[in-house]
Amino acid sequence: MSSLPIFPGSVDALGQPSTLGVMGGGQLGRMFVHAAQRLGYFTAVLDPDPTSPAGRVSHHHIATGYSDAQGLKQLAALCAAVTTEFENVPADALAALATSRPVAPGAAAVAIAQNRIEEKSHFTASAGVAGVTCAPYAVIETPAQLDAVPPDLLPGILKTARMGYDGKGQVRVGNMAELAVAWADLRGVPCVLEKRLPLKAECSVIIARGWDGAITGFAPQYNVHVDGILALTAAYEGNMPPALAQRARAATESIASHIGYVGVLCVEFFVIDDGSDDGALVVNEMAPRPHNSGHYTLDACDVSQFDLQVHAMAGLSLPQPRQHSPAIMLNLLGDVWFDAAGQTRAPDWQAVLALPGTHLHLYGKLEARAGRKMGHLTITGANIAGVTAVARQAAHILALPGLDALG
């Protein structure tokens, strides 16, 4: 279903401001809601958690499961268009909504991101036009496929085809015996085995694509992960070689255009040491939504990734964002709320906020847990050296990892 523009300030048949809906009530939904409300839209969130961060700040919160027929019917009745804030919303639910309302991204694109096997196939078909490849891999769905794994794929990483994120559902294996044990430990679910490659760096690209095929977006971000979870993002000119950045952006646009994607899309890449100065790009995975690595855009750009999400789903023109400040984003996990002995503590926000150029975003989650994303801290400034120095100070105060990777 194509989308006519749903303009800010427009009203429905009852004279109410147009309502934009989001499936999912986490922090990404919360930031989408804030962006939509700034433009004067009403918002509706469908999420089963009555205390979800997005649900608590939205005009409407439908507290049902994502596949609940009555909840979906209510969301469709309220909303002029619907988006999603995470990729594990059932694709069938998005397809049901799309029979009566514009949904961006669509069910087909979300279904690809939900299954690593389909995702790899899509990347092979679309990203290669930009000279970017997948890591060598094998699909393992049966014992016969396990036995037929080529030896040159080892050592590798075994990843579940579904429900793997932030390092979950992944096991490093060195030989066939370890691979067999790992697959059994994962209960024999469909998996992908990826060859382990010499990693130089990680990066991501965030774009938005409209109903008319227009594309805009941000320069690639340099990312550092710790234990499979994003620790920091460095977003400034020179964070990666220009030729590599251009190829990553071109591959991302190709991946989006190949399936007629509408909405905000993040594609993550590995930079592999192939003996060249810049390295080679390998596409890792895509997220059909705004992304943790794009949170810096709230403070360092005149248009954020969430603004683009609103524009894309509502059929509005897509502005070209301008980054006005170099930025480093530090991810704040629940670990920050615990000391070395495992006792809860209040983070020293007073000291952090006394640092120049700090922008603290807490997501309104009621319980801190190790590994849970509780917020982020973005540091902006006039130059890269100053931003990096303040980021190091903040990381020291909060005992955050990852800054050593910036050199």
165-222 pLDDT, tens per residue?
Answer: 666 789 999 999 999 999 999 999 999 999 999 999 999 999 999 999 999 999 999 9
- 252 with 313, same domain: the answer is yes
In this structure, the answer to whether residues 347 and 314 fall within a common structural domain is yes
Q: Is the pLDDT of residue 31 over 80?
A: yes
pLDDT surpasses 80 at 405: no
Q: What is the mean pLDDT of residues 227-246?
A: 94
Position 227 in a domain: yes
Q: What is the CATH number of the domain that holds 257?
A: 3.30.470.20
- Considering 195, 221, 239, which residue would you say is the last residue of a domain? 195
Question: Final residue of a domain: which of 168, 195, 222?
Answer: 195
Q: Give the residue numbers spanning the domain of 249.
A: 199-406
pLDDT at 402: 78
CATH number assigned to the domain comprising residue 52: 3.40.50.20
pLDDT score of 234: 97
Residue 8 lies in a domain: no
pLDDT at 129: 64
221 and 309 part of one domain: yes
Q: What is the pLDDT of residues 298-347, one digit of tens each?
A: 999 999 999 999 999 999 999 999 999 999 999 999 999 999 888 999 99
Residue at 110 is within a domain: no
**pLDDT of the residue at 9:** 75
Q: Are residues 272 and 369 in the same domain?
A: yes
Q: What is the CATH number of the domain that holds 188?
A: 3.30.1490.20
Residue 244 lies in a domain: yes
pLDDT band per the 50, 70, 90 thresholds, residue 353: very high
Q: Could you tell me if 222 and 357 lie in one domain?
A: yes
Clarify whether residues 237 and 374 are in a common domain: yes
More confident: 277 or 44? 44
Residues 50 and 169 in one domain: no
CB 191 within 8 A of CB 183: yes
Choosing from 103, 122, 157, the residue where a domain stops is 103
Region 345-372 average pLDDT: 96
* Percent of the chain topping pLDDT 90: 86
- Do 252 and 270 lie in a common domain? yes
pLDDT digits (tens, 9 = 90+) for 122-150: 998 886 666 688 999 999 999 999 999 99
How many distinct structural domains can be found in the chain? 3
Residues 6+ apart with CB under 8 A from 211: 2, 3, 102, 104, 262, 312, 315
Residues 185 and 208 in one domain: no
Q: 13 versus 113: which is more confidently predicted?
A: 113
Q: Determine, yes or no, domain membership for 387.
A: yes
Instruction: Assess if residue 108 is contained within a domain.
Output: no
Whether residues 322 and 282 fall in one domain: yes
- Position 222 in a domain: yes
Same domain, 379 and 308: yes
Q: Confirm whether 376 is domain-assigned.
A: yes
Same domain, 204 and 328: yes
Average pLDDT over residues 384-398: 97
Would the pLDDT of 13 be above 70? Answer: no
